[in-house]
Structure 1
C-alpha cells in the first residue's frame, strides 16, 4: 500500500507541475474577475500546506522559504503581497523536490500516529502520517482544478 500512496503523490504532483510548466510569469500572475488569487498563489499554497502536513505534524524539519506564510497562507492574496514572490521556476523546483523528500523521510511511517491530530471543519480528523498524506492529495487536486479554471479565464 505504501508504494501505491507514494506513486499517487508523485502522479498528483506531476499533474500539478505539468499544468503550469509552459506558462509565463504574467500568466501565473493573472487574477481574472471573480477570483481572489492567481496560479502562483495556488502553487505556493499547495507547497505550504503539503510541507506542514508532511513534515509539521510528523516532527520532521520543515523547509519553508522565507515569506511563504505571508504570501501563500490561508486568507492571503496577491493584491496584498508586500514581498516579492518566488518565480514560477522556483516554485516548480520546490514542488518537485518536496515529493522526493516526503518519500525519503516518511516511507516507513504511514501508520505512525501524529502528536497533534488535526480535525478539519468537516469533522474529519487526521491522526496518522498516511491520513495526512492522503488528504493532502485531495487538497492539491482542488487547487489544480482552480489552476485549470484560472488558465481558462485568463486566456
Structure 2
C-alpha cells in the first residue's frame, strides 16, 4: 500500500529540519541574533512540542514530553528561563524529532480522517477539526521554524566569516 501523501510530506519536512542542524554544535545553537527572542535550539524544541500536541494530544494518545519540554519550548516561552535547566543537546533533539515522525506514521496512518472531540482554533484563527487538518497545519508551523533556523544559520556563518577575516588582517 502506498503511504499517504501527508505522511510523506511530514517526513520530508522533518528530514530537512534535522539535516539543517545535523552538524551544528550546542553552543552555536544557543546564539540569539539581535532583535530576536530565541535561538535555534528553542525553535527545534517548539517544533517538537507543537507537533506532539497536534499529533497526539487532541486524540488522547500518549504524548512523549521529556522532562520540562513544555516549560522550555512552548509558544511564548523564552530562553531566559533556561538558566538552571538541563537542556537537551542538538543530537537529543534530532533523535526526538526523528522518532516523533515514526510514531506519527505508526499511530495515525489510518486515523487521518478522524474528527477530534473539540475543534482547535490556531492563534491565526484557523479552526482544525480532524487529525489530517492538524498534521497539515503542523507543516506550516514547522516550515516557519525551518525558515527561522536557516536564517539564524546564515547570520552565524556571516559572523564567523567576518571574525575570520578580521583575525587574518591582524
- Please tell me whether the aligned partners of residues 2 and 110 of structure 1 are also in contact (alpha carbons under 8 angstroms): no
- Equivalent position of 1:133 in the other structure: 135
Residue 127 of structure 1: SS of its match in structure 2? strand
Residue 59 of structure 2: SS of its match in structure 1? coil
2:62 is the alignment partner of 1:61: yes
Residue 57 of structure 1: SS of its match in structure 2? helix
Deviation at 1:123, TM superposition (A): 2.5
- Equivalent position of 1:120 in the other structure: 122
Detail structure 1 runs of 4+ shifted over 6 Å in the superposition: none
Deviation at 1:145, TM superposition (A): 0.3
Task: Please give the per-residue CA displacement for 1:60-118, whole angstroms capped at 9, x wherever unaligned.
Answer: 00001110011101111112214121001100000000000001001101111001211
- Please tell me whether the aligned partners of residues 31 and 154 of structure 1 are also in contact (alpha carbons under 8 angstroms): no
Give structure 1 stretches of 5+ with no counterpart. none
Give structure 2 stretches of 5+ with no counterpart. 158-170
- Equivalent position of 1:71 in the other structure: 72
TM-score, normalised by the number of residues in structure 1: 0.96
How many residues matched?
155
Distance in 2 of aligned mates of 1:73 and 1:47: 9
- Equivalent position of 1:48 in the other structure: 49
Distance in 2 of aligned mates of 1:71 and 1:121: 19
- Equivalent position of 2:163 in the other structure: none
Map 1:7-26 to 2 at 5 A.
7-26=8-27
- Equivalent position of 1:3 in the other structure: 4
- Equivalent position of 1:142 in the other structure: 144
Distance in 1 of aligned mates of 2:124 and 2:141: 13
Task: Please give the per-residue CA displacement for 1:32-70, whole angstroms capped at 9, x wherever unaligned.
Answer: 111110000000000000000000011100001110011
Change (3 A) 1:49 1:137: same
2:79 is the alignment partner of 1:85: no
Distance in 1 of aligned mates of 2:125 and 2:26: 38
Q: For the pair shown, which has the larger CA radius of gyration, 1 or 2?
A: 2
